[in-house]
């Protein structure tokens, strides 16, 4: 199977789009090409997994020096708890998918020694203590009459930065070394400064398993 370039190559701006339609990055990020992991996942599952649904991170970038997987979450770190199980599934499934596509004829350990992973979250969305108190209160409320069980799902949140950092530390212990060289959870502003504006995404390598679309 060959993957068409016009299908699997996108850019940072488009891959930062959430399922709710919002973009984490500004439109200026559309100048930086990356591989769209969601598109690669769909093609991979269709041909090799009989439409079995895997989960993938959003973007993959590599050049002569760098290997980077990116997951964008357009929410504050407090709300990442709601998605945390899914995030860890994506970490594993993405590595497996890359070993079966980009690294198909190489050892998976070779990829693990080079591949870094970033989860980029939205530091500009500030969920204050007041909001978290309301959320905790809703978790304990019960209707006065009728069914005593609440039928409304309350968003899970990290209570504070310490709880969040402990979860990140546990994730790093589980998946660094075996699957990734390094895993980082970083704020959007740091991603823009340290990666985008620093020129990290300058020259996407053309994957040999890809072909130009034939009109």
Question: Cα separation of 40 and 132, whole Å?
Answer: 37
Question: Cα separation of 51 and 182, whole Å?
Answer: 30
**What is the average per-residue pLDDT within 26-48?**
93
pLDDT of residue 213: 44
Is residue 68 pLDDT above 70, yes or no?
yes
Enter the CATH code of domain 3-126+160-211. 3.40.91
pLDDT, tens digit (0-9, with 9 covering 90-100), for 198-214: 999 989 999 987 765 43
Task: Write out the H or E segment, with its range, that includes residue 35.
Answer: strand 33-36
pTM score of the predicted model: 0.86
pLDDT, tens digit (0-9, with 9 covering 90-100), for 104-153: 878 888 899 999 999 999 987 665 555 555 555 555 555 555 555 555 56
Q: Backbone phi, then psi, for 144, in 5-degree steps?
A: -70, -40
**What is the average per-residue pLDDT within 10-19?**
96
Domain ranges of the chain: 3-126+160-211
């Amino acid at each position: 199977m060959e993957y068409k370039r016009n299908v699997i190559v996108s850019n940072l701006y488009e891959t930062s789009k959430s399922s709710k339609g919002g973009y984490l990055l500004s439109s200026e990020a559309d100048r930086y090409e990356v591989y769209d992991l969601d598109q690669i996942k769909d093609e991979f599952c269709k041909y090799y997994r009989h439409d079995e649904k895997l989960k993938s991170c959003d973007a993959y970038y590599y050049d002569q020096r760098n290997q980077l997987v990116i997951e964008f979450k357009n929410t504050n770190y407090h709300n990442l708890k709601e998605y945390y199980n899914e995030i860890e599934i994506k970490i594993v499934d993405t590595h497996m998918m890359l070993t079966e596509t980009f690294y198909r004829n190489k050892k998976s350990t070779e990829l693990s020694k080079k591949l870094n992973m970033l989860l980029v979250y939205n530091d500009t969305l500030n969920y204050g203590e007041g909001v978290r108190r309301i959320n905790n209160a809703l978790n304990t409320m019960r209707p006065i009459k009728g069914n005593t069980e609440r039928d409304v799902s309350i968003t899970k949140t990290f209570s504070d930065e310490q709880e969040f950092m402990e979860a990140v530390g546990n994730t790093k212990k589980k998946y660094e070394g075996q699957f990734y060289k390094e895993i980082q959870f970083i704020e959007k502003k740091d991603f823009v400064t340290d990666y985008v504006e620093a020129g990290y995404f300058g020259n996407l390598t053309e994957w040999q398993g890809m072909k130009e679309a034939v009109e």
